[in-house]
Amino acid sequence: MTVAPESLHTLVERFDHEAFDLPGSRAVIRLAVVGDRAWDATITNGDIRLRRAEGADADALIEADAATWDSIATDVASGMEAFRRGRLRVRRNLHLGVGFLAATAAARGPGRLRFTRVATDAGSYSALEAGTGPPILMLHGLGGNKASFLPTVAALAPSFRAIAVDMLGFGDSDKPLGASYGPEYQARGVAKLLDALGLERAHVLGHSMGGRVALELGFREPTRTRGLVLMTPAMAWLSDRPWAPLLRLVRPELGLLQLAPRRVVEPFMKWALPGAGTSLGDSAIDEFVRVYTTARGRAALYAAARSVYLDEPHGDNGFWTRLQSLAPESLFIWGRNDRLVPLGFMTHVERALPAARHVELDCGHLPQFERPRETHAAIAKFLAAQ
């Protein structure tokens, strides 16, 4: 086949630049037909062109069989649905690949899935959003990005304006050098983000490190937050922290000098991340590797991890002291098999914050992937009552 399939032409023809965030001036997305050939969609500001694939310099790869491409083009099924079901693979750059699927979807209107870039006084944020209801802002975990909320955005968009962002230092958002990337820093940035989005108040959902940032926002800006959903949230350690004195002396900017070749990082992530070998799991690994193998991405990751470890538990300004005064209504979601944030933390939260609600699930640290139906049902029920 020397001419691109009609399905690919259809997708390119309905490409909507307003729903696509182009980080630079040009991106090449390779559209491959399993068992056949591939074509490159070259995107520039205001233009997209389809040509036979040449070379290996594509920024993102989207691969599906001919029947799936036909189904997406005729709107029998969306590209995102095919991706979630594993019938379509996105590799190399999830931001560009999933952004292409969003920008070529047949559905139009204000509630469609779209990728955006939001300029704030704190820096530029990369975001994806869908839906038109009450706003809910989603903050990812350490080493993650906005794509970790793709299942959650899909589940909540029918009732909410679901907005998932890359926090500063992660994904495709700005990565200022020398920033602490701790909860206070991120919470100040999120408040600026709410300003830029024109949101006086919003529900806030935080996963892992994002949960700690959401709590910090609740401490500092209680009038800006409606309901808080804390999904396996990072919290100040209650046990001894033997490495704390050393970490206070070590600067995370050393990550700028560290060598982190892909051939070393990728095998480790395949071993460490649940879901490796699945379409979404492999895409998540690609995203981590893509950012971690950049100097600024490593420095931000180390700074954020350092802040989590050094989070003071006690004292007048300690985490557990401040938790007692949290004003917004809150829901905590715990995984019974979570090794990073053990279920035992729930007892301490109940003692510090008796009014909080809790849900226990038979999962690990990623409820939105491991138990999506129960997780999203609990979130929707909680938010509907706010």
User: What is residue 272's predicted lDDT score, i.e. its pLDDT?
Assistant: 46
- Whose CA is closest to 143, among 267, 263, 330, 272? 272
Which runs of E-coded beta strand occur in the chain? Answer: 26-33, 38-44, 47-52, 60-64, 88-91, 114-119, 124-130, 135-139, 161-165, 202-207, 225-231, 330-335, 357-361
Q: Which two tokens stand for residue 223?
A: 């009038």
> Look-up: residue for tokens 């962002």?
165
User: What is residue 283's predicted lDDT score, i.e. its pLDDT?
Assistant: 63
Domain residue extents for the chain: 6-103, 114-384
- Tens-of-pLDDT digits for all 386 residues of the chain? 568 999 999 999 999 999 999 998 999 999 999 988 999 999 999 899 999 998 878 999 999 999 999 999 997 678 888 888 889 999 989 999 999 999 999 888 888 999 999 999 999 999 999 999 999 999 999 888 998 899 999 999 999 999 999 999 999 999 998 899 999 999 999 999 999 999 999 999 999 999 999 999 999 999 999 999 999 999 998 776 565 555 555 555 554 445 444 554 445 444 445 554 555 656 666 777 776 778 888 888 888 888 888 888 999 999 999 999 999 999 999 999 998 899 999 999 999 999 999 999 999 998 998 999 999 999 999 999 98
CATH superfamily, domain at 114-384: Alpha/Beta hydrolase fold, catalytic domain (3.40.50.1820)
- Dist CA 365 CA 340 (whole Å): 7
User: What is residue 261's predicted lDDT score, i.e. its pLDDT?
Assistant: 47
CB 168 within 8 A of CB 121: no
3-state secondary structure of 5: coil
CATH superfamily, domain at 6-103: SCP2 sterol-binding domain (3.30.1050.10)
3-state secondary structure of 372: helix
Q: Which two tokens stand for residue 114?
A: 């779209």
Q: What dihedral do alpha carbons 324, 326, 329, 333 form, nearest 10°?
A: -70
Q: How many CB atoms lie within 10 A of CB 22?
A: 17
3-state secondary structure of 276: strand
How many residues does the structure list for the chain?
Answer: 386
- Dist CA 39 CA 182 (whole Å): 42
Q: Which residues pair with 117 in a beta bridge?
A: 126
- Dist CA 173 CA 185 (whole Å): 14
Q: Which residues pair with 29 in a beta bridge?
A: 41, 60
